[in-house]
Amino acid sequence: MHLPAVLLASTLFSSSVVHGLFTRSAGTVACANLTSSLGVAKVVSTPLNPEYIATTQDYWNARQSVYTPACIVYAQSAQDVSVSLKAIRAAGSRFAIKSGGHNPNNFFSSVDGGVLVSLEQMTGMSYDASSTLASYEPGSNWGELYEYYQQFDVTVMGGRLAGVGSGLALGGGLSYLSPQYGVACDSFRELEVVLPSGEIVTASESTNADLFLGLRGGGGNAYGVVTKYTVQSRPIGNFYAGNLVYLFEQCDAVLEAIHDFIAYNNDSKASILPTYEKLPTPDVNLNLDEAIILFVVYDGEDPGTAFDNFTSIPHIIDTRSVKTYTEVVNMPVPFVAELTRADNVFRSGVHHIEDESYKTALDTWRTWAEDNKGSYIHTGLYLYPVSRSLTDASKAQGGDAMQLPDGPWFWTAYDLATPPGLIDSVYDAIQDSFRDMVAATPDADDLPLFLNEAAWDQNPLSTFSTYSELQQTKQKYDPDGFFANKTGGWSFA
């Protein structure tokens, strides 16, 4: 090697080492300052501390648990978050904000060598019967929120699985009540937000309206940290709900029933969540490695004929009964993504119902799953109906960052869980193959992708009709790129 090349290699190596040391050093400096300002009760820097271990291991995508934050700040108020962001900025440290930890994307809620700000202790919630508005902090999951508000015979718009964190609403949030009331973010009425500068502000339709729009379906980690939600509650009573489970020999019949429900159902109280599940076990021509699990939920005790197209198809399990809403979101079916902590990823698709994309998506996924047995421990395909009543309800509340086009159409979500501990090259090869499989069913170019189920490289914000407006909002509230450069999140490039 010529001398200049040696010097160049030495310089590059030294720069890499210095950068790594600087990143971790910046985190250490931030943590020291935060310990001084917030106290040892709120800042944990020891990886062997049980609280530290519990927080770093509590990710749906287990690969996020390999990272080691320089410290974890257990914020208890918006002021704590503000102090944290100011200290992180001053030190030049990387950071992440974590509430439920369900987003599988790298560094969206995890950090290595920087500061992890956990919101898990911010669990306040309240209800004002005179205004019917509900307020809650970001540390609770949906099951805890639903259980609290049920005593008032109301609920809030959120996720369909109890264990998912409240940050889901910032990415849109589909509820079993969405055909009546829109997606979860449509019910936002006021948000308390800590900006990248550390300033604590209110966002609503009348105050910081551009920020409010961006946070309604535009995702977290973009404009600031939401520390309190004030939302419109919704009345609830009992539901008629349960699971229908089919063998895969009913695949085509169930798929056509799903198509017809998306295209023609006019009862906004009826909601479905169709899931196709595949395990890596040998097929032996009995289809025991596959199942179709359908969630059917009706807001009321009598669904009438709303689900007849599904119940008329032979099925092996039927758990439908009258349930409370908390029972609905805890329906005990195996293999649901919430229950399967592993090296998980999601990918999203979006399609019109009038074409053959619903067939293509299922056939392509099923072929891939069969061809790639041994490379996963579970994979699933989920179809999310977006009805005309849902999009009308969204528009009636002022719309959101997605500005949903008129239904009916549907989102798809693809879940892949790989064996733990795969070396990066093997893991990356599986992910690339899975990505290509999803892309083989082209997305509709006039419909938005769903942030809650999107992978980092899908750039879902660019599919929103409001994208240029959201870019301007990002520049306004994060002018020096503090959030853009120091934490993970959706790209506005």
Q: Tell me how many domains the chain contains.
A: 3
14 found inside a domain: no
Mean pLDDT of the chain: 92
Q: Are residues 91 and 143 located together in one domain of the fold?
A: no
Give backbone dihedrals phi and psi of 358, rounded to 5 degrees, phi first: -65, -30
5 found inside a domain: no
In this structure, what CATH number is given to the domain that contains residue 211?
3.30.465.10
20 found inside a domain: no
The DSSP letter of residue 381 is E
12 found inside a domain: no
Q: Are residues 55 and 191 located together in one domain of the fold?
A: no
Q: Which of 75, 91, 118 is the last residue of a domain?
A: 118
Q: Regarding predicted confidence, which is higher, 340 or 269?
A: 269
Query: What would the mean pLDDT of 225-241 be, rounded to a whole number?
Result: 98
Q: Are residues 312 and 387 located together in one domain of the fold?
A: yes
Instruction: Give the sign of the dihedral formed by CA 158, CA 460, CA 107, CA 383.
Output: positive
Domain ranges, residue 43: 26-118
Give backbone dihedrals phi and psi of 127, rounded to 5 degrees, phi first: -140, 135
Q: Regarding predicted confidence, which is higher, 399 or 11?
A: 399
Write the pLDDT tens digit of every residue in 106-152: 999 999 999 999 999 999 999 999 999 999 999 999 999 999 999 99
Write the pLDDT tens digit of every residue in 322-338: 999 999 999 865 444 44
User: DSSP letters along 136-191, please?
Assistant: E-TTSBHHHHHHHHHTTTEE----SSTTSBGGGGGG----TTHHHH-SGGGGEEEE
Regarding beta strands 133-136 and 125-128, do their DSSP bridges make them parallel or antiparallel, or are they unpaired? antiparallel
User: DSSP letters along 19-88, please?
Assistant: HHHHHHHHHHHHHHHHHHHH-TTTEE--TTSHHHHHHHH--SBGGGGG---SEEEE--SHHHHHHHHHHH
Q: Are residues 308 and 331 located together in one domain of the fold?
A: yes
What pLDDT does residue 341 have? 77
Confidence of residue 6 (pLDDT cuts 50, 70, 90): very low
Confidence of residue 4 (pLDDT cuts 50, 70, 90): very low
Q: Are residues 93 and 142 located together in one domain of the fold?
A: no
68 found inside a domain: yes
Write the pLDDT tens digit of every residue in 437-466: 999 999 999 999 999 999 999 999 999 999
Asked if 81 and 199 count as a contact pair (C-beta separation under 8 A), the reply is no
6 found inside a domain: no
Residue 285 scores a pLDDT above 80: no
9 found inside a domain: no
Q: Are residues 114 and 133 located together in one domain of the fold?
A: no
What pLDDT does residue 192 have? 98
Q: Are residues 97 and 144 located together in one domain of the fold?
A: no
Q: Are residues 283 and 306 located together in one domain of the fold?
A: yes
Q: Are residues 383 and 284 located together in one domain of the fold?
A: yes
Least confident of 9-13, 192-196, 281-285, 479-483: 9-13
Q: Regarding predicted confidence, which is higher, 340 or 188?
A: 188
Q: Are residues 269 and 371 located together in one domain of the fold?
A: yes
18 found inside a domain: no
Write the pLDDT tens digit of every residue in 49-94: 999 999 999 999 999 999 999 999 999 999 999 999 999 999 999 9
Residue 5 scores a pLDDT above 80: no
Q: Which of 118, 149, 180 is the last residue of a domain?
A: 118
Q: Which of 79, 99, 118 is the last residue of a domain?
A: 118
Confidence of residue 220 (pLDDT cuts 50, 70, 90): confident
**Closest residue by Cα to residue 100 from 42, 69, 136, 55:** 55
What pLDDT does residue 10 have? 37
Q: Regarding predicted confidence, which is higher, 339 or 402?
A: 402
Q: Are residues 348 and 212 located together in one domain of the fold?
A: no
